[in-house]
Structure 1
């Protein structure tokens, strides 16, 4: 990376890392607060888990066009400070005996909308400050950070909840956003001011759909969009069913379930480190297709999990293979998406993508929960795995003609680097 871009990306990377770890550290904190502190029932906990992120995704949509023509670093700092403030309202309300499930839901919605806006702004900022030939390296580092946080955050957060209570992890999450804002502030200026149409048009209702319009009109992004939304939704929809199966009929302890998903996260680190070398050797199209296909083949193995050491080993092997494939796929996919999106459409495109993904996860989780109630968790997991086997058909079969020369150039640069 050129020195100025690498220096600024380093601070963004630090901000992303600390805030991501804080989020993983406080995983499921709201559900536990609702259960243990507010004596909420299953319906309220389910509402909190599903509706909060889904409504937040909807509310984030109007922010995309607004953020598009503004500098992204101030937007990221603002979303960090907003998340910090609303999260700190939870322990403050508890301290004065005023905490309610409604407040937790409002905080969940706000944090979800700010998360999507922050992620979209990060993508636009990285595209602006990182040279094109270094985008894959940058996205690989972000992917590695994500899996490191996923591997370490939940176990440490679970231990902290057990000793100090779930409110402690909410405070830690709030502090992580404050530290993230500080790191972004240290990145300094230098970001190019986005160009604005002149005269500046008023925001119309149709402008909110610009991100989806661009995705659906792109021959390369459209299949990637449907593939990633469906794959991520089905993987996440089967996750709570696997908890029910393992901790219920199969008799695994909660710590064994946590171990079965923490250790395979090492595969995400391995995959992210391998992605750049694989692209240098085989090119992004082949890596996307092979890794995208492999990540769809692993989950059906979870339907065959049994009790005891053999069952636990099977889960860990399947999860390691799945997460390694995802670790390879995601940096290449994220880089390709940024390359194929014009600078003046990045935020709207990424916001539309994230909002659709979160809404799809909520819908598919609810649908698969209904299927599990009718057929049992094992059958529902098997059905999700079977549908996933068809998702590679949605991957793009060829690159746009205009980008084939760029692919060859990128492979040459990566091989030389």
Structure 2
């Protein structure tokens, strides 16, 4: 895959390790340090994503005009500095809910810039026929880390408190930036400088029949799944009184399924074709989350969450690398940053809106009922795969011409 990709992979691994060691850190801090309820915990997640999405609206065209590696390094440094402010303020007794929101906003905006640059940078250093292999390697790394990270993070929280894991998150971004700095830019290569705006990213996705169907489905699924994350933290850690290490185990152990899916995705594509595998994995990943509404306090509840998450995550391990590869291969190099920025901004905005709504819904009908409603709505999302048509194919060909 080449030296440049190896350093990129190291950077990705460092970032993922830090992020998942700190899994649930902000909800835990909000619940156990600041005494926040369901609406406030959901609002914390929603506010960061929404404001980050708004800031990201200007980032796609801006990233297109900048050196991608430099953008990624700056984004890592910014995220590291923002996160370090949390334990510093906590140590001084000055930590507030508002600061958590501000740090979430900064992190979300930096994530938009990093995502937009990383896709374009991957296309610069990896040959088109190796993109699926590269994305599968990233996916394998993600699920391997998640299988262990939340459990270790949960144990650290139990021993040292939730603030300690924020250090791990910050260190991951710092190490990621250092690994990216070790990549030597190829001489004679300059960043593309097209005219246009983020609306170009929206138009390209809209005019590509396949991307449009995948976009609708993934945005809806991600929004409904992520909207229940803070509610699950409230239900499991607060209402049911789970210990932190149970919480880490429940979401860490099933990630072995994600690793399995990422290892098999290349074989599935060769045997059944990308379109069929994408559709089947996309359907399988939404069948079980409704079962989370039935979780209970004892070991039976832990086993239920593990089983539900195993099905979801195994399917994601297959779906995500194929989606990332399909998107990179269908989008021209001179528009990739704008398309990825639009996709990330839309995803963040949808998650923010849905998370905020589900926080209010949980206050009205109860946390468990709100989680069940999200699971029921997920069962309808396969309908959003509809939309592949000859007309859409003609539109994207005309756009490219």
Higher relative contact order (CA 8 A, sep 6+): 2
Residue from 165, 168, 180 that aligns with 1:169: 165
CA-CA distance at 1:164 after TM superposition: 3.4
Q: 2:335, 2:106 → 1: CA distance?
A: 24
Aligned to 2:186, what secondary structure does the other structure show?
coil
Structure index of larger Rg = 1
Equivalent residue for 1:149? 145
Residue from 318, 326, 329 that aligns with 1:328: 318
Equivalent residue for 1:48? 44
Where in structure 2 are the equivalents of 1:10-409 lying within 5 Å?
10-34=6-30, 39=34, 41-42=36-37, 45-94=41-90, 99-190=95-186, 192-197=189-194, 207-246=197-236, 252-306=242-296, 308-395=298-385
1:285·1:398 contact (CA, 8 Å) conserved in 2? no
Alignment coverage as a number of residue pairs: 391
Q: Residues 398 and 281 from structure 1, CA distance in 2 versus in 1: closer, same or farther, beyond 3 angstroms?
A: farther
> Structure 2: which 5+ runs fail to align?
394-401
Q: Deviations over 1:299-337 (max 9, x none)?
A: 233344456444433322221111101110010011001
Q: Residues 399 and 194 from structure 1, CA distance in 2 versus in 1: closer, same or farther, beyond 3 angstroms?
A: farther
> Structure 1: which 5+ runs fail to align?
404-417
Q: 2:321, 2:327 → 1: CA distance?
A: 10
Q: Residues 32 and 309 from structure 1, CA distance in 2 versus in 1: closer, same or farther, beyond 3 angstroms?
A: closer
Q: 1:244, 1:19 → 2: CA distance?
A: 26
Q: 1:304, 1:175 → 2: CA distance?
A: 37
Q: Residues 310 and 23 from structure 1, CA distance in 2 versus in 1: closer, same or farther, beyond 3 angstroms?
A: closer
Q: 1:98, 1:315 → 2: CA distance?
A: 36
Q: TM-score, normalised by structure 1?
A: 0.84
CA-CA distance at 1:250 after TM superposition: 6.0
Q: Residues 246 and 179 from structure 1, CA distance in 2 versus in 1: closer, same or farther, beyond 3 angstroms?
A: closer
Q: Deviations over 1:15-62 (max 9, x none)?
A: 01101211222233344445665x464465554332122211211220
Q: Deviations over 1:67-101 (max 9, x none)?
A: 11222111111111222222233344455555444
Q: 2:80, 2:260 → 1: CA distance?
A: 32
Equivalent residue for 1:411? none
Aligned to 1:104, what secondary structure does the other structure show?
helix
